[in-house]
Amino acid sequence: MLLISSTNGMTVRMDRPSWTDHSFRELLAAIVVLIALSDQLVLHTFAQSKSSDAPIPAGPRIQRTDLLNGLRILAVERPGETAVVNLLIKTGSFADPKDKAGVAYLTAQSVCFGNAKTSFQRWKDELEFLNARVEIRVNHDSTVFQAHLPSSNVDALLTLFTRLIVRPVFTEEGLERIKCELRSSKLALSEPQQIGKLRLGQMVFGRSACARPEWGTPESVSALRIADLEAFHRTYYLPNNTALMVVGGPPMARLGDLVREKLGSWIKRDLPPAEPAPAPILANPAIRVIDRKNSSEAVILVGHAGPLRQTPDFFALTLANTLLGGLGKASRLEQAFTERNISYRSLSSDLQFGQACSQFQVRAEVPLASLQATFQAILDCIEDIKTHPISDTELSRAKSALSSRHAASVGSEAPLADEVTAIELFDLSRDFLARFPLRVEHTSAERVQEAAKNYLSSTRISGIVVGESQAAKSALAHFRSFELSEWQESGAKPASAN
């Protein structure tokens, strides 16, 4: 008997024939070749399985439960005595009717502070009793009611939210009080950064919903009535347009029972079709100067529309923005300002991703005399990130910074709740947080520059200067890269400085 063994453990058993038999020698040679090929196949398959089955780093475990009425619960169980609850309405100010800007904001505020179900004083008393703090955030994409409280009080908070949010009874007294507070705060537009951000949005997005401030305008807010709030609430405050994110609360089994008990009878209805994202305005580069008397410095904002959050280039673009203005003294913006002896009080770049109103911005606060050099440095840096090679050291530094920020955001309850909220709002994969470090690490310098070339522009860009107008226009008189004029309110023709 003849035994032939291979490295993969295969053994062939044969009766020994005569070695002079020619056909047997051919058969034996064929068997040896087959065994050798099988060994190579096993080794190749093993190598492939090792590379393709790379383990996903451990991350927050997000548990999900859907109620029959469409409300979704997302929970991250964490040890400790503190919980954060985000109640997400997947509609924000982008859904405001054109002549009712601010209705999403006023609806959210009135749910808590202008609701006959709970007086303003009782609301404060109940939060104090629960040792809870509630923050209301409205942006173009969403409305979020965020509560920080002891884990043991999540049940009582859900009872309070149910009473206020599902079927509110808006009051005239409450609405007028909120309007008054709004007029003295956000509508006053006193801070240069706030003024610049609003006006730049109007330059970038024109007359679309993305250009309107989330809290409305003085004229639109004054015209809003309780009927407008009721119509908005009836249309968008629905269980199938709502998600509840809980970090650090009760176990999912218990949480699911609580939410089902309190919100399971909330009736779902059809939502109106979503408005498409506005097309970006491809206007000639322009700078608008907003007069701010008695100021020796200017606040500058430069930007253009950006890609939506669902872009496959999210990681590459985020790294590009980090290289540009997110590395402190090592960022390309700060290095360029230092090399050109441009002093600055603040300097940063930002990519604001959204479902409809994404925007790229560079912000700086500099002396009025440095305006032309500042604008030129910003434009040069935008082109530089697209053309100048990214070194391994530079890319490694950006990846490290981005991964560190991510680790910090998932390390505490409130930022983690916001991350889970974004996963739900933008329909991201449930393992997004766990895969984040790997996705960052696997993004190449070539991919970063390709994304920068596709989405960042130094020619289709707008700028705002908030500062003493005559000095600003004088400093920019010879800067021909932009059309220069003073800001005029709607309906007025810009006064050219040239």
Identify the pLDDT of residue 483.
83
Radius of gyration of the chain (CA): 30
Cβ 446 vs Cβ 110: under 8 Å? no
Q: What average pLDDT does this structure show over 210-231?
A: 94
Please write the tens of the pLDDT for every residue from 409-448: 999 999 999 999 999 999 999 899 999 999 999 999 999 9
Confidence band for 207, pLDDT divided at 50, 70 and 90: confident
Identify the pLDDT of residue 5.
40
Say whether both 295 and 390 belong to one domain.
yes
Amino acid at residue number 384 = D
Note whether residue 272 is domain-resident.
no
74 strand-pairing partners: 64, 245
Question: What's the domain count of the chain?
Answer: 3
Most confident of 37-46, 198-207, 227-236: 227-236
Note whether residue 271 is domain-resident.
no
Note whether residue 73 is domain-resident.
yes
Name the more confident of 480 and 252: 252
Q: What average pLDDT does this structure show over 161-185?
A: 93
Note whether residue 268 is domain-resident.
no
Spatial separation of the C-alpha atoms in residues 353 and 343, rounded to whole Å: 30
Note whether residue 193 is domain-resident.
yes
Q: Tell me: pLDDT of 57 over 80.
A: no
By residue range, what is the domain housing residue 381?
Answer: 286-496
Spatial separation of the C-alpha atoms in residues 425 and 356, rounded to whole Å: 12
Mean pLDDT over each residue of the chain, to the nearest integer: 86
Say whether both 38 and 84 belong to one domain.
no
Say whether both 335 and 249 belong to one domain.
no
Confidence band for 3, pLDDT divided at 50, 70 and 90: very low
Spatial separation of the C-alpha atoms in residues 389 and 71, rounded to whole Å: 48
Identify the domain boundary among 263, 278, 307. Answer: 263
Q: Is 438 exposed, middle or buried (0-12, 13-18, 19+ CB in 10 A)?
A: middle
CATH number at residue 308: 3.30.830.10
Say whether both 103 and 229 belong to one domain.
yes
Identify the pLDDT of residue 34.
43
Confidence band for 95, pLDDT divided at 50, 70 and 90: very high
Say whether both 383 and 459 belong to one domain.
yes
Say whether both 232 and 356 belong to one domain.
no
Say whether both 325 and 219 belong to one domain.
no
Identify the pLDDT of residue 183.
87
Identify the domain boundary among 225, 248, 263. Answer: 263
Name the more confident of 415 and 275: 415
Say whether both 229 and 121 belong to one domain.
yes
Please write the tens of the pLDDT for every residue from 307-354: 999 999 999 999 999 999 999 999 999 999 999 999 999 999 999 999
Confidence band for 281, pLDDT divided at 50, 70 and 90: low
Say whether both 323 and 426 belong to one domain.
yes
Say whether both 360 and 399 belong to one domain.
yes
Identify the pLDDT of residue 18.
44
Note whether residue 340 is domain-resident.
yes
Say whether both 96 and 12 belong to one domain.
no
Lowest pLDDT segment from 22-26, 128-132, 327-331: 22-26
Q: What average pLDDT does this structure show over 108-122?
A: 93
Q: Tell me: pLDDT of 59 over 70.
A: yes
Confidence band for 481, pLDDT divided at 50, 70 and 90: confident
Q: Tell me: pLDDT of 464 over 80.
A: yes
Note whether residue 51 is domain-resident.
no
Note whether residue 207 is domain-resident.
yes
The string of DSSP codes covering 449-473 is: HHHHHHH--SSS-EEEEEE-HHHHH
**CA separation, residue 166 to residues 89, 213, 244, 268, 459 (Å):** 11, 26, 13, 11, 48
Say whether both 28 and 140 belong to one domain.
no
Q: What average pLDDT does this structure show over 225-244?
A: 98
